[in-house]
């Protein structure tokens, strides 16, 4: 198995050190759900809800370019920062080994 390490800070400030498989075509949102972290993924990974928004804390790891759908969704989302990404749009690859992220707050609407 080809696992990488991903560190995720949840909304309560708890740090989770996760083993993430790179051979299952998973993304960050699916990884969070697999570890039962509080990520809804309401749209099923279609970049249409922003419930998997996260902040990229690592500045030494190059992520894939943000696609049009992700940009549009983040333009409409709450709590967006310069380092915001949608977890559903970041596939787990060996290049992400050591990635650190923080789950964005959710809207109470």
CA distance 65 to 14: 28
pLDDT band at 1 (very low <50, low <70, confident <90, very high): low
pLDDT of residue 108 exceeding 80, the answer is no
pLDDT of the residue at 2: 77
Confidence of residue 51 (pLDDT cuts 50, 70, 90): very high
Please tell me the CATH code under which domain 7-103 is placed. 3.10.20.30
Q: Lay out the sheet containing 84-86: strands in order across.
A: 15-21, 3-9, 99-103, 53-56, 84-86
pLDDT at residue 3, rounded to an integer = 93
Q: What is the mean pLDDT of residues 57-62?
A: 95
């Amino acid at each position: 198995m080809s696992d990488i390490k991903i560190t995720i800070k949840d909304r309560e400030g708890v740090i989770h050190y996760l083993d993430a498989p790179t051979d299952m075509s998973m993304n960050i949102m699916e990884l969070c759900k697999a570890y039962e972290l509080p990520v809804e993924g309401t749209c099923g990974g279609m970049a249409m809800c922003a419930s998997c928004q996260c902040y990229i804390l690592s500045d030494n790891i190059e992520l894939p370019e943000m696609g049009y759908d992700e940009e549009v969704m983040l333009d409409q989302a709450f709590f967006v920062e310069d380092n915001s990404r949608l977890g559903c749009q970041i596939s787990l690859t060996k290049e992400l080994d050591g990635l650190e992220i923080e789950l964005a707050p959710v809207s109470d609407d």
